[in-house]
A and B are shown apart, each in its own frame.
Chain A
């Protein structure tokens, strides 16, 4: 039915080697093979964004990437970003602003927001609310109505820009 493939890759800084079914997508690989349940499946057809993770520094939809294609890749998930402290300020802003309700979209929303914030830092600019809304427009959140999420990202963007100048 389906063939298996050997892959060795880095996940959150740890080297992992596994034999995976060719059809296994990255989210199932993370959740079922590695027990990293912070990444969620919402639609499994690339629309809702709940499975967003970082592969080789770029955010991707984990449900549209096959684990078998990731030999040699570097994968980062919410667990890894939490551990490294890279998005600690963003996570705190989400907590303080109540930018998460049920939390199912939250890890992916944070990865998408972090992506915008690093691009903004490179450009030395604070993104407008419209630009924030545009950037997270591929991450579905049913609970918040997005306003609080935009507030939290805007707060961090402004704070980081302030730090950069001082």
Chain B
């Protein structure tokens, strides 16, 4: 009964694993009947608005809230000093990131504002509009301080130190080294190098960060409606920092309007709302507006990377040598920390390739800008852009075709398990098969012929490739071993109800990926009922097994396996009862489409609803000692590999207008290997959405700061996101190398698109520009930067 899932079972009834079925919970979305946090209205609810620092760095001299409080309907105002006694400060470090340091952070700062947009004062009123009116009347006197803005000089002795207690602005540094890099470069046939920049950008969830906290003084319970990816983690944080027993905190996560990593962090303004609700004993709601989102949602990917690659005369990669520098804002973000992105960069560079010598250093520094932290594909888009940019330069230096050069250097498909020079353990990958599948999909010779023909007409088209790896199904090696109370384990409870329908409560969460759909597919197949008989419960810490939630592509691989095991256990338990009722050995019976049937022959013996009726209402008719456990919980955690790596390859086909610098995307392809595919349609849509998010970072999205630390964009009119008209159709293909750590075999699929797209876009642009002698390595690849690379405008205007 506990066999590896076999997708060939698709021809059997109630076999859903591997099938493209629509999500059962999507109908409410298309009818406007979903329930996001802002749709929840509670009696006596108040609304919070924040006064935010206009300065990147300033001492808070005086706060006067009297004018704000004089407005009718305005109830109270809170400063950092008001909230500090009621909330333990937090310091976001991880013990396994050796030497990492950060400063204590509070819901609202006590003395010093450290970024433009930091919440300084909270005002609560009967409506959001009144709260905003009041916030505008709060007077804060600041004494501006010199701001640390340039990460390149953040560690210079002349640069001010943001947190004096830390001694300097260094958060973390690490060099990941193996082999003899110096010797490899000395003896290399060719060395290529480039300096890469990834633009600081952010998630722009369409539903802004949202929280509604409700404290009941009589029961001592804090109930928090929260737009989050990790309800149990948030519950743990609220309990510890607000000094409540964990059992008295309930986090309810209804529908979530986009997250992508943005909503897996602890935000000081949201902590302030919870503290205020506890102090006032009534519900307080905070929904960030768009400007607040841009200035206080985490940013990501503010990196400068110097990279070198050495190859031998046969075209084999010898070594990578990387120096990464990243600025993370004034605080490491709790509890995942802001050093993980840089750490991922030095773990993932060179990931797809077979070579021996590796050195990658990351330096993580503080700045007076919005804090950065984990955002979809954490570090992968950076590592992949650097790796694949250097790989293309090497192919060019050798006069080799970029696909041929990759084929020569990719890890061979039969060579696993193995460990990369960066120390990553790979269970089984399919780089070569994926590349060959992509080559067929794109009709490579035809594209190259089209490129030549277009060139003759003065049209500059390019094709760019990006092989990549993606880290999924994380074990406690990601956060837990560093002391973070972030669960790598997840669980699922499956219950057969009297009418034969099935409830599945899971610790993983739904933010639109299709979590509830795949859990329903897995449970339906495992128990043996039609999918329409399964209801899935997610996102309520009172109703679901303890688990980590959905992030780092763990929902399907970890949550899915727990659901499979719980479903199988429930079926086994049901068959024990059925065997007793039918005077048959349980292993001669099965459950198919909601009926107890003979395993041999398939004759229907009775519906599951009859079993439910007997167990719940006529238990007296069953033998006294017979177990009747129609509800089973199972948990799953990976133990053999720290991460289940996936792999794939992307290709971008585009046109560069050399007069305007505009990039016109013609087509995009991705071949992905995420192990067992549970729902091909949902996986394809994860890949497509991820690709477009990657394209956003590559071409448009940029949190631009003035040299003195002011955020120069604050609306969606000046922060450009990918819109439908500019996006290409995206073709997705699959190779399946299931993980053997689980019976389900699934790895994660949500971040692969974002991991590879920027590199593919960059390489395609540079392929188009190659005959013109121009190259770009600084994202986003704006028209100005492309024109500057072409020498058509001065570099400083780009």
Rounded to whole angstroms, the CA-CA distance of A140 and B716 in the bound complex is: 10
Chain A residues contacting B34 (CB-CB under 8 Å) are 103-104
Interface residues in B689-709 (C-beta closer than 8 Å to A): 689-693
In the assembled complex, the Cα of A103 lies from the Cα of B227 at a distance in Å of: 14
Number of residues on chain B facing chain A (CB within 8 A): 58
Cβ–Cβ contact A140 & B682, under 8 A: no
Q: Which of B32, B35, B255, B722 contacts A82 (CB 8 A)?
A: B32
Q: Is the CB of B512 within 8 A of A103?
A: yes
A98 touches B681 (CB 8 A): yes
In the complex formed, the residue of A with least CB distance to B688 is A145
| Cross-chain pairs A/B with CB under 8 angstroms, 8 sampled | A37-B32, A42-B206, A95-B23, A98-B26, A101-B513, A102-B256, A146-B724, A150-B729
CB of A145 within 8 A of CB of B692, answer yes
Q: Which residues of A contact B689 (CB under 8 A)?
A: 101, 142-145
Give chain A nearest CB distance to B369 CB in angstroms.
22
Assuming the contacts A101-B689, A103-B255, A133-B725, asked whether A44 and B290 have C-beta atoms less than 8 A apart, the reply is: yes
Q: Which residues of B contact A41 (CB under 8 A)?
A: 38
B542 at the interface (CB under 8 A from A): no
Q: Are A147 and B206 in contact (CB under 8 A)?
A: no
> Are A106's CB and B29's CB within 8 A?
yes
Residues on the B chain within 8 Å of A149, using CB: 724
Q: Which residues of A contact B659 (CB under 8 A)?
A: none
B257 at the interface (CB under 8 A from A): yes
Neighbour of A140 across the interface among B31, B33, B206, B255, CB < 8 A: B206
A144 and B688 form a contact (CB under 8 A): yes
Quick check: A102 and B715 within 8 Å, CB to CB?
Answer: no
Taking CB atoms, residues of chain B closer than 8 Å to A40 are: 36, 206-207, 257
| Contacting residues, chain B, for A142 (C-beta < 8 A) | 203-206, 258, 260, 689, 693, 721
Q: Are B31 and A102 in contact (CB under 8 A)?
A: no
Q: Residues of B with Cβ closer than 8 Å to A?
A: 22-23, 26-36, 38-39, 71, 129, 133, 203-208, 255-260, 289-290, 511-514, 681-682, 685, 688-693, 715-717, 721-727, 729-730, 753
From the candidates A1, A36, A94, name the one contacting B30 in the complex (CB within 8 A): A94
Contact partner of B206 (CB less than 8 A), chosen from A1, A48, A148, is A48
Q: How far is the CA of A105 from the CA of B290 in the complex (A)?
A: 15
> Which residue of chain B has the shortest Cβ distance to A47 in the bound complex?
B716
B26 in contact with A103 (CB, 8 Å)? yes
Q: How far is the CB of A79 from chain B (nearest CB, A)?
A: 6
Q: Assuming the A-B contacts A102-B511, A136-B724, A149-B724, are A45 and B716 also in contact, with contact meaning beta carbons closer than 8 angstroms in the complex?
A: yes
> Do A43 and B715 contact each other (CB < 8 Å), given the known contacts A78-B31, A102-B206, A144-B689?
yes
Question: Chain B interface mostly helix, strand, loop or mixed?
Answer: loop
Check if B258 sits within 8 Å of A102, measured CB to CB. Answer: yes
Could you tell me the distance in whole angstroms from the C-beta of A19 to the nearest C-beta in chain B? 15
Whether a CB of chain B sits under 8 angstroms from the CB of A141 is yes
Cβ-closest chain A residue relative to B716: A47
Select B724's contact among A23, A77, A78, A137, beta carbons within 8 Å. Answer: A137
Alpha-carbon distance A79/B32, docked complex (angstroms): 6
From B289, which residue of chain A is reached at the shortest CB distance?
Answer: A44
- With most chain A CB atoms within 10 A of its CB, the pick from B289, B691, B693, B724 is B724
B residues within 8 A CB of A106? Answer: 29-30, 32
A1-31 interface code vs B (CB 8 A; 1 in, 0 out): 1000000000000000000010100000001
Which residues of the partner chain B approach A136 to less than 8 Å between Cβ atoms?
724
Name the contact of B725 in the complex, choosing from A31, A96, A134 (C-beta under 8 A).
A134
| Known pairs A38-B33, A96-B22, A101-B513; A146 contacts B207 (CB<8 A) | no
**Considering the complex, which residues of chain A in the window 124-166 have a beta carbon less than 8 Å from any beta carbon of chain B?**
129, 132-134, 136-150
> CB distance B681 to A47 under 8 Å?
no
Chain A residues, Cβ within 8 Å of B681: 97-98
B715: nearest chain-A partner, CB-CB? A45
Partner of A107 from B26, B32, B511 at Cβ < 8 Å: B32
Do A105 and B206 contact each other (CB < 8 Å), given the known contacts A77-B32, A145-B689?
Answer: yes
Q: Which of B255, B691, B723 has the most chain A CB atoms inside 10 A of its CB?
A: B723
A149 to B722, CA, bound (A): 14
Q: Is the interface of A mostly helix, strand, loop or mixed?
A: loop
Hey, which chain A residues are within 8 Å of B206, CB to CB?
A: 40, 42, 48, 50, 102, 104-105, 140-142
**Residues of chain B lying within 8 A (CB to CB) of residue A133:** 724-725, 727
CB distance from B67 to the nearest CB of A (A): 13
For the complex formed, measure the closest distance between the CB of A4 and the CB atoms of chain B, giving whole angstroms: 13
| Chain B residues whose C-beta falls within 8 Å of the C-beta of A98 in the assembled complex | 22-23, 26, 514, 681-682, 685
B30 lies within 8 A of A100 (CB): yes
- Across the interface, which residues of A come within 8 angstroms of B290, CB to CB? 42-45, 48
Also in contact, A140 and B513, with CB within 8 A (given A40-B207, A95-B27): no
Of A36, A107, A143, the residue contacting B258 (CB under 8 A) is A143
Chain A residues in 8 Å Cβ range of B39 = 31, 37
The interface centre, meaning the residue of A38, A104, A136 with most chain B CB atoms within 10 A of its CB, is A104
Is A110's CB within 8 Å of the partner chain B?
yes
A95 engages B685 (CB within 8 Å): no
**Could you tell me the distance between the alpha carbons of A78 and B34 in the complex, rounded to whole angstroms?**
12
Q: Is the CB of A102 within 8 A of B207?
A: yes
User: Which chain A positions have C-beta within 8 A of B256?
Assistant: 102
Closest 9 pairs (CB-CB, A-B): A38-B32, A103-B29, A104-B257, A101-B512, A102-B512, A78-B32, A145-B692, A137-B725, A47-B716
Q: Smallest distance from the beta carbon of B264 to chain A beta carbons, Å? A: 15
Interface string of A57-97 (1 = CB under 8 A from B): 00000000000000000000111001000000001001111
CB distance from B651 to the nearest CB of A (A): 16
Find out whether the CB atom of B22 lies under 8 angstroms from the CB atom of A146: no
Interface readout for A107-131 with B: 1 if CB under 8 Å, 0 if not? Answer: 1001000000000000000000100
Q: Are A48 and B207 in contact (CB under 8 A)?
A: no
* Distance, CA A14 to CA B39, complexed state (A): 21
Interface contact B724-A103, CB-CB below 8 Å: no
Q: A95, B30: Cβ atoms under 8 Å? A: yes
Report yes or no: A145 in contact with B717, Cβ–Cβ below 8 A.
no
CB pair A102 B255 closer than 8 Å? yes
Cβ contacts under 8 Å, B693 to chain A: 142, 145
CB-CB nearest in chain A for B511: A102
**Shortest CB distance A68–B (Å):** 14
